[in-house]
Amino acid sequence: MQYREFGRTGARVSRLGFGAMRLPMTPDGQHVQEEEAIAILRRAFELGVNYFDTAPGYCNRESEAVVGRAIKPFRDRVYVSTKNPISNGDGAAFRARLEESLSKLDCGWIDFYHMWGINWQSYTEYILAPNGPLAEARRAKEEGLIRHLSFSFHDTPEALVRIIDAGHFETMTVQYNLLDRANEQAIQHAHDLGLGVVIMGPVGGGRLAGYSETIRRLLPQGFGGNAELALRFVLAHPGVDIALSGMSSLQMVEENAATAGRRDQLSAEERQEISKALDELRRLADLYCTGCKYCLPCPNDVNIPAIFEFMNYYRVYGLREAARERYAKLGTGDPNIKGENATACQECGECEQKCPQHLSIIAQLKEAHKALGE
């Protein structure tokens, strides 16, 4: 396993982090298969992983407790990350959630405690509130309950830079992968200012795990597949310290640890060549749809931008299986993929009147359904 200084925190962390959001579950999806999960977590430790990331809501709210039991024998040799969902500016509520996580983890401290999934609005309105989450987090840090204050983030790169520059946090966890490089410059900016940087979704939430001839052509000689390239691409960014992987099997742990343990990571030249190829793919994707969302709202709740995004996976990136899987979730009530699929289109034409690219949206929706849904 390769290790790296984690910003200015003083911690030396494994380049691979264990994301405990996809622990093996029982067939009904209600409970973690604890014995198997603990074996997986402990095998990761044996292979050199020393950063374990969990959260209150993961795995039907059982992840924290299972992680706590798994790492109990070597708690002082690993770093634990968990999160606090910020839904208001109440410092007392923040403290209550912190104490619940400490109880579930069954430990006296949390190494890296995240303000979970924040954006600029929640940062300014809730986190900075008088006697709010930030003030309470600082008190908890003084008491030794938190070692380092962190945040995870879902907003624009511009907002990310503003939060970084505010100087309240020591580490951050953000999205970055072959398909989504929006935070690329902000990641380097954070690193330059001394923040530790963790990447979530290095394999694009599984989108990059399937076979794609288009992605395969990006592989320098000697790579094993898309998932390996995706992980190594992330780790090659000079601003990235840790790539989190949600691992649910011993095989995944073994494969990812082997990838993160390689000394011959992507060179700067290889990474630059891959970036150039990705820029060209992005240009081709934007010809189909830029994702501006001006076509919304649709009176029939058709999620036009999502459908065209999935079509880009299919047509431009060659990720056909991932595209069909995501398209199939439209109209099912999945909270992560909202709206209806193309069959709900009534051809009213409102979207085409609003589209700045003047796309033939109705015809393209039919084409997308034929490719992804039939």
Determine the topology of domain 3-267 in CATH.
TIM Barrel (3.20.20)
Mean pLDDT (the chain) is 91
Q: Which residues contact 28 (CB under 8 A, 6 or more apart)?
A: none
Residue with tokens 């709210």: 61
Average pLDDT over residues 231-255: 93
Side-chain half-sphere of 176: how many Cα atoms within 13 Å?
A: 31
- Cis status of the peptide bond prior to 305, with omega within 30 of 0: no
Q: What pLDDT is recorded for position 46?
A: 97
Digit-coded pLDDT (tens) for 250-281: 999 999 999 898 887 788 888 888 888 888 87
- Other C-beta atoms lying within 10 Å of the C-beta of residue 110: 25
Distance, in Å, from the CA atom of 109 to the CA atom of 107, rounded to the nearest integer, reads: 6
* Closest alpha carbon to 245 in 254, 236, 340: 254
Evaluate whether 136 touches 106 at the Cβ level (below 8 Å): no
Burial 143-175 (b: 16+ CB within 10 A, else e): eebbbbbbbbbebebebbbebbeeebbbbbbbb
**How far is residue 80 CA from its own chain's centroid?**
17
What gap in Å lies between CA 337 and CA 326, rounded to an integer? 8
- Tokens for 296, please give them: 């919304």
Rounded to whole angstroms, the Cα distance separating 83 from 245 reads 17
CB 6 within 8 A of CB 15: no
Run of H or E including 199? strand 196-200
Residues 133 and 113: their CA atoms lie apart, in Å, by 12
Q: Report d(CA 146, CA 166) in Å as an integer.
A: 20
Question: Per-residue pLDDT for 220 more than 70?
Answer: no
Query: Alpha-carbon distance 253 to 200, whole Å?
Result: 16
Per-residue pLDDT at 159 exceeds 90: yes
- Mean pLDDT, rounded, for 134-156: 95
What is the reported pLDDT for 207? 66
Say what the pTM is: 0.83
Q: Where are the domains of the chain?
A: 3-267, 289-372
